[in-house]
Amino acid sequence: MIKPDAERIIRSPYSPYEEDGGVLFHKTGGIFKKMEFKRGAPDGPWLQYHPNGQIQYEGFFRNGKPEGSITMYYDNGQVFRRGEYKNGLKEGPWSIYDKKGNMLDEVTFKLGRAV
């Protein structure tokens, strides 16, 4: 769910909770989030941006749950975290990186729990 924030406003011809999707903008005018909805739940590509325009989060939702590959980025464009979701739960290896792109850690998940 999108939380109210003084730094972000909605500027879209439709509510982001309608059937088809929505776009949220930073107060500065840059895009904050792009998402698609189906029957009121996130369903489809989901992009979120840092205030400087760099992608912050890139993933996919199916029936309101994250599904497939997900990548999160620092505001300098370097990958912060990368992993997979299956049926809304973390699955397989998840990698964490520093701002220079060096891997810091890798954790393996099964059915949403670290193993």
CATH of the domain at 56: 3.90.930.1
Task: Using a pLDDT cut of 70, give the percent of the chain over it.
Answer: 82
Number of domains composing the chain: 1
- Stated as kind and residue range, the H or E segment containing 90 is strand 89-97
In a domain, 1, yes or no: no
Opening angle at CA 46, ends 82 and 60, nearest 5: 60
**Does residue 82 sit within a domain?**
yes
Average pLDDT in the chain: 85
Q: Which structural domain, as residue segments, surrounds residue 101?
A: 8-114
In a domain, residue 2? The reply is no
Mean pLDDT for the stretch of residues 110-115: 97
Q: Is residue 101 part of a domain?
A: yes
On whether residue 13 sits in a domain, the answer given is yes
Residue 79 lies in a domain: yes
Per-residue DSSP letter, 44: E
pLDDT digits (tens, 9 = 90+) for 32-52: 888 888 887 889 999 999 989
* 62 within domain boundaries: yes
pTM over 0.85: no
Distance CA 75, CA 50 (A): 6
Q: Is 14's pLDDT higher than 50?
A: no
Q: Is 61 exposed, middle or buried (0-12, 13-18, 19+ CB in 10 A)?
A: buried
Is 3 within a domain?
Answer: no
Judge whether residue 89 has pLDDT over 50.
yes
Residue 20, judged by CB atoms within 10 A of its CB (0-12, 13-18, 19+), counts as: exposed
